[in-house]
Amino acid sequence: MSAPKLLLLTALVIVNLAFVAAWVRRGREHPDRERPTLGDVLIGFVTDFFDALGIGSFAPTTAIYKLRGSPPDELIPGTLNVGHNAAAFVETLIFTTVVAVEPVLLATMVASATIGAWLGAGVVGRLPRRAIQICMGVALLSAAVFFTMANLGAFPAGGTAMALSGWRFAVAVAVNFALGAFMTIGIGNYAPSVVLLSLLGLHPLGAFPIMMGTCGIVQPVAGLRFLKSGRFAWGASLGLVLGGVFGVLLAVYVVKQLPLWALRWVVIVVVSYAAVSMLRSASARRVVAIGR
């Protein structure tokens, strides 16, 4: 194993251990926290099952939460980053050791996204409810656009390279910084990463370890800040953890591949509806505020 990849995996383990320790400590401080329901666990199982197959988990989870009316909108970004972290950790271990993308590109892009997430989580943790609703509404609409592009075959074909150099390397690292920040508001990075790296000439498979590595470190880093601020839902987050890991393992080692075309259209409809609902909620709050 190369030194950059070994460094990445070491950082992955250290950051996640720190995250778990912080969550346990936070739990001891709040013994009256809510417990996960069977529904919370099923949401984690289903969304992370399809995440491992390439659909993503943030947009579907956000849509489900909005449709069922809990957790509150302002707690959704933190819940996503805290709750989906365990599944992201497992996916990172699997994909970064199986797909041989260039180690320096992998490590540098993950590092840039991590810095973006640390800064982004600090901002999101202070945003008011309406601002979060607007951001998540835009995030869901963006996800619907990417899902539609995937189903229509509109993603760029990509190249054959498993490494980038020069200005392409710089662009990839800079954009991944922004994607890391956007993840803290609920924008998943799979589809944007595939489009970005394909346009730069990387083989589409190369996006998997980069995307998984980014999630594996970005989410616990962002999660640490959400744990500190308390802006996440305890029960829903634990449900994502309990169901998500099993969903990933089933997808990777048992199912491995599914015809996802029809499912994506269903996700597009649900996500689009949730996006409109989120933006309408933000608009309603603005009207109430003006009325006062």
> pLDDT digit string (tens) for 183-216?
888 777 777 887 888 888 888 777 778 887 888 8
- What sign has the CA pseudo-torsion 194, 247, 223, 14? negative
For residues 55 and 264, the answer to whether their CB atoms sit within 8 Å is yes
Task: Find, among 92, 52, 33, the residue nearest to 234 by Cα.
Answer: 33
C-alpha distances in Å from residue 126, one per residue of 104, 158, 225, 231, 281: 34, 38, 11, 9, 19
Residue 241's identity, in one-letter code, is V
SS3 63: helix
Question: What's the pLDDT tens digit per position in 24-40?
Answer: 998 888 777 888 999 99
Instruction: In whole angstroms, give the CA distance from residue 27 to residue 42.
Output: 22
SS3 161: strand
Instruction: In whole angstroms, give the CA distance from residue 264 to residue 70.
Output: 23
Within 8 A by CB and 6+ apart from 220, the residues are: 15, 16, 18, 19, 85, 89
Within 8 A by CB and 6+ apart from 134, the residues are: 278, 279, 282
SS3 184: coil
- Residue ranges, the chain, pLDDT below 70: 1-2, 4, 97-100, 157-158, 256-258, 285-292
Instruction: In whole angstroms, give the CA distance from residue 212 to residue 24.
Output: 25
pLDDT, position 158: 65
pLDDT, position 288: 45
Helices (H), the chain: 3-29, 38-52, 58-68, 76-83, 85-98, 103-124, 129-151, 166-183, 190-199, 207-229, 234-250, 261-291
pTM of the model: 0.80
